[in-house]
Structure 1
Amino acid sequence: MDECKGISTRVYVDDFVLMGEKCRIYEMKQTLLNEFDIKDLGPILSILSIDVCRPTIDIIELNQSRYIRKILKELNMDECKGISTPMEMKNGDDNTEQFDEYTYRRAMGSLIYLANVTRPDISFAAAYLSQFNNCATKGCWTKVKRVLRYLRKTENAKLVFKKSGEKLRFYVDADWASDQKDRKSWSGFVIKFASAAIEWRTRKQRTVSLSTVEAEYVAMTEIVKEWLWIKNFITELGMIEFLPDPCVINCDNQGAISLSKSKVISSKSKHIDVKLHFLRDLVDKHEIIFEYVSTDNNIADIFTKPLGRVKNEEFCIKLGLKLELELKMKSFV
């Protein structure tokens, strides 16, 4: 970031994007053209398989529909029948016959990329299914094909960012002991800005949590670490007016919220002592506040478990992900 000229540059190998005022961008391009043999492609339309559309001056849309169609064709799924959710709410095909790992990993690499860039709605499915990269079965592949069928139905989905004065918003959740094989929990969080998700994550917790409160607390620690990073990044961009002070994080576990404020370390929580002190220190300094939000309104829930069709569509809209089905869901906005 060039603070003097107000230019921000993002580089990936030999592709780069300039952001800033038009006159500053022009000056920077002239400087680069004088020094290097480069090609000016004009206003950004596509980068790294991400299509960028700006229908109005106040709206930016990101989608990967072309990339999705390419994946479906490569995996012979381009004529498949679409489906309304990426995963079943209950375990489906348990066929344990071994499946080709190369094909499985190839598909998972594409799904993970989509999940990390423009499709938060498949984040949990991608994280869950990536566990089987080294031990893929036909049952696992059936689940992957379901995600592909969901992408077929929603291939034109786009993240829509709208100019507004709102500050960053934070949501976090955990699904306790949900993995029946090892009883580890899943964490999920999302950060919203300009009416859409800008950062999200699904992660299986590394250790077994002994209670819902502990699982939630582990997830809360993850989003706070991300907040500290994004705080520095936003400050570097010179956009501190969009940083909430203090940072309000929405959570649906009253016990975990109480624990973050408590000065007492009990026998039930002493084994997570470091995480306790990490969060409590920031709470005591009034840098963060954990606020209760009902599970029904906690959009981070989509990152911890499979959801039914109605809830999946509702949370997609709240994440700023515009689906073809959005017109049917206006009552949720």
Structure 2
Amino acid sequence: MEVNLKLEKPTDEKLPDFPFLNLIGSLMYIATATRPDIMYPVSHLSQFNTCFRKEHWLAAKRVLRYLKHTKSLNLVFQKTADPCISGLSDANWGNCLDGRSYTGFCFLYSGTAISWEAKKQRTVAQSTAESEYMALSEAAKEALHLKNLADHLGIRQNTVEIETDNQAAQNWAINPIVTPKSKHIALKEHFIRDAVHNKDVQLKYCPTEDMTADVFTKSLAAPKLILFREKLGLRDCS
């Protein structure tokens, strides 16, 4: 997706004659199955399923062209000495025109993506730390699901490490104290605190410039997109 592209919902109700819904449905299938690198643009474009215009159609076709030129990319899994599940969590504060933020997270097994998500947050976050904290709670839910699934498959892992690039959100999760900036946060968002307290999840700081989950919260320039998709395990197998 074009960097810093801002798509708006049109005010008129007449829809153009484009197969936009069919295209978004097909792209969503690909994004959730094997191509985490297009998860954000597809999620963003799906907001306009009932109110699209030509600019939305052109943005969706841009994703198609990208897929055409990168159709040899595959998620490649390699055997490692100590395979484990690890996670990345990020948020883009106030990214949407309605003031809401975007949550993005990804979980890797032996360095290759096995689960990922990009979605708009349900409530308006009042700070970057709050949006990151909400993203961590969503990531913790997925971490517990993957941990239980791994146990069922005979893969024992006591704690899942999740990386975040926001130290304030990390401190809120580790230290269950009420501050003026966090006292209004809904109870459900504190799920991450229980996960950390029970040692199901361990948080680790990651510098913003190295945060691979950025690919799930915003459109990126080509060099950064290529770097992060390689870190997700997408390899050219042509």
TM category, shorter: over 0.9
Partner residue, 2:144: 228
Give 5+ residue unaligned stretches, structure 1: 1-86, 326-333
Deviates more, 1:114-123 or 1:272-281: 272-281
Query: Counterpart of 1:295 in structure 2: which amino acid?
Result: T
Q: Distance in 1 between matches of 2:72 and 2:226?
A: 14
Counterparts of residues 27-66 of structure 1 (less than 5 Å):
none
Q: Distance in 2 between matches of 1:220 and 1:114?
A: 25
How far off is 1:231 after superposition?
1.3
**Secondary structure of residue in 1 paired with 2:203:** strand
Could you give the per-residue CA deviations for residues 129-167 of structure 1, whole angstroms, max 9, x where no partner exists? 000000110010010011011011101111101112221
Find out whether 1:298 has 2:211 as its counterpart.
yes
Say how many residue pairs are matched.
234
How far off is 1:92 after superposition?
6.8
**Alpha carbons 2:147, 2:160 under 8 Å: kept:** no
Could you give the per-residue CA deviations for residues 176-224 of structure 1, whole angstroms, max 9, x where no partner exists? 0011x20110000000013310000001001110000110011000010
Could you give the per-residue CA deviations for residues 79-129 of structure 1, whole angstroms, max 9, x where no partner exists? xxxxxxxx010227879684236x000000000000000000000011000
Q: Could you tell me the TM-score, scaled by structure 2's length?
A: 0.92
Query: Counterpart of 1:263 in structure 2: which amino acid?
Result: P
Give 5+ residue unaligned stretches, structure 2: none
Identity of aligned residues (%): 39
Find out whether 1:320 has 2:226 as its counterpart.
no
Cα–Cα, structure 1 residues 217 and 323, in superposed 2: closer, same or farther, change >3 Å?
Answer: same
Q: Could you tell me the TM-score, scaled by structure 1's length?
A: 0.67
Q: Distance in 1 between matches of 2:125 and 2:77?
A: 36
Q: Which runs of 4+ in 1 moved over 6 A?
A: 92-95
Query: Counterpart of 1:89 in structure 2: which amino acid?
Result: V
**Which structure has the higher relative contact order (CA within 8 Å, separation 6+)?**
2
Partner residue, 1:90: 4
**Secondary structure of residue in 1 paired with 2:21:** helix
Could you give the per-residue CA deviations for residues 236-258 of structure 1, whole angstroms, max 9, x where no partner exists? 11111xx2x33211000011011
Cα–Cα, structure 1 residues 139 and 273, in superposed 2: closer, same or farther, change >3 Å?
Answer: closer
**Secondary structure of residue in 1 paired with 2:84:** coil
**Alpha carbons 2:9, 2:52 under 8 Å: kept:** no
Partner residue, 1:157: 73
Query: Counterpart of 1:153 in structure 2: which amino acid?
Result: H
**Alpha carbons 1:260, 1:276 under 8 Å: kept:** no
1:258 to 171, 178, 182: 171
Counterparts of residues 210-249 of structure 1 (less than 5 Å):
210-240=126-156, 243=157, 245-249=158-162
Could you give the per-residue CA deviations for residues 56-86 of structure 1, whole angstroms, max 9, x where no partner exists? xxxxxxxxxxxxxxxxxxxxxxxxxxxxxxx
Query: Counterpart of 1:309 in structure 2: which amino acid?
Result: A
Cα–Cα, structure 1 residues 265 and 150, in superposed 2: closer, same or farther, change >3 Å?
Answer: same
Q: Distance in 2 between matches of 1:147 and 1:183?
A: 25
Query: Counterpart of 1:311 in structure 2: which amino acid?
Result: K
Partner residue, 1:22: none
How far off is 1:324 after superposition?
7.2
**Alpha carbons 2:93, 2:131 under 8 Å: kept:** yes
Name the Cα RMSD after superposition: 2.0
Could you give the per-residue CA deviations for residues 293-327 of structure 1, whole angstroms, max 9, x where no partner exists? 011211111000000000000011110101379xx
Partner residue, 1:287: 200
**Alpha carbons 1:252, 1:293 under 8 Å: kept:** yes
Query: Counterpart of 1:272 in structure 2: which amino acid?
Result: I
Query: Counterpart of 2:89 in structure 1: which amino acid?
Result: V
Q: Distance in 2 between matches of 1:126 and 1:273?
A: 28
Larger radius of gyration: 1
